[in-house]
Amino acid sequence: MITDAVIVAAGRGVRAGGGLPKQWRSVAGKVVLRHAFDALAALPEIRRIAVVVHPDEMERARSLLDQTNAVYVHGGANRDDSVRAGLEALAQYAEKPEAVLIHDGARPNLRPDVTRRVLAALEKAAAAAPAIPVSDALWRGASGTVSGVVPREALFRAQTPQGFHFDAILAAHREQTTPAADDVEVARRAGLDVMIVEGDDGNIKITRPEDFELVAPFLEKRMGMDIRTGNGFDVHRFGEGDHVWLCGVRIPYSKSLIGHSDADVGMHAITDAIYGALARGDIGQHFPPSDPQWKGAESHIFLRHACELAAEMGYRISNIDCTLICEQPKIGPHQNAMRAALADIMALDADQIGVKATTSEKLGFTGREEGIAALATATLIGDSK
């Protein structure tokens, strides 16, 4: 049976907070909509996916998904309109689908066995949907008190993807005149019988802010996330000069740091922390000090290389923490500028980067103001191999 899918992701999702519609926020290292799309795109049974988004987010969707089997569709004023828009887009192809799956873009943890149960049911029924039997007691309430009890027998919590024979659900949506809770309701109004298949407790629909925390462990377990931590340490001594470079910021000072490159001790420690997390040596291995081309080089070259290497190996940088150890110069007035400079170099948000300073209580070479030391930690997240 030729099967296409529709992912509905045109809503505003304001209850979930975070400043962005919920489908565009990240959880477990990936945008929610991308999780949902990948779960369907990974199945060879599905030929084409119509992704229905708000018109203002069309380019964002194209950039995020960038898949040849994706069709990008403008959403409507409500969910029913958006679903119909997706179905109509699929109906334009010369070879229409025989079946269609309709999935909420805010359900990122869709397991393949759930989808395949729906597909199997469509071989013998015109409509099928996953659901979980209600196990909690159900009450009616009024004015903050319990006004009655609802029997929970034969009650289910609906999930998606909901599957249908294509022509039947398209006709049902074309006849739709009043809002429906989901596509099963649309189908039943049109006289279709809907088969219930086993759902999945982890197939959570993100609605509230706390739902991100609920679904994250399921996604992390399914993705087999590989979390790595690396440490970096570097030291540079003072020499003659009138400024120092620290974490990408030029700070006026009565001395300068001495090194083969620009001697940015903070950036060097961060770079080595990333290399360490990747088990790929240190700066000296990638940029040998014996090579004259690196003499006086700006340290952002090294840091960008480490970030690019992480991306090539399938890792994203979750956060960076750097501690500068010195008596002088004072770091506090420059912390935010350092975080901003590092964020720009690393293509991260500033709130993923910590920069702080401490003294060695007048002990050792830093206490004698002979130089500056830096210690950095990097956390990387990637899919397990």
CATH no. of 226-383: 3.30.1330.50
pLDDT digits (tens, 9 = 90+) for 279-317: 999 999 999 988 888 888 899 999 999 999 988 887 889
Structural tokens at position 268: 């060097």
DSSP category for residue 106? T
Mean pLDDT, rounded, of the chain: 92
Mean pLDDT, range 198-207, rounded to an integer: 95
Mean pLDDT, range 16-40, rounded to an integer: 86
Least confident window among 49-53, 59-63, 189-193: 59-63
pTM over 0.85: no
pLDDT digits (tens, 9 = 90+) for 164-173: 999 999 999 9
Structural tokens at position 109: 């943890």
For residue 104, the SS3 value is strand
CA–CA dist 3, 18 (Å, integer): 35
Q: Is residue 350 predicted with pLDDT exceeding 50? A: yes
Same fold, 3-223 and 226-383: no
- Contact, 176 vs 81, CB < 8 A? no
Mean pLDDT, range 348-362, rounded to an integer: 93
For residue 212, the SS3 value is helix
- Domain range summary for the chain, segments of one domain joined by +: 3-223, 226-383
Yes or no: is domain 3-223 CATH 1.10.3720.10? no
Query: Residue 296's pLDDT is what?
Result: 84
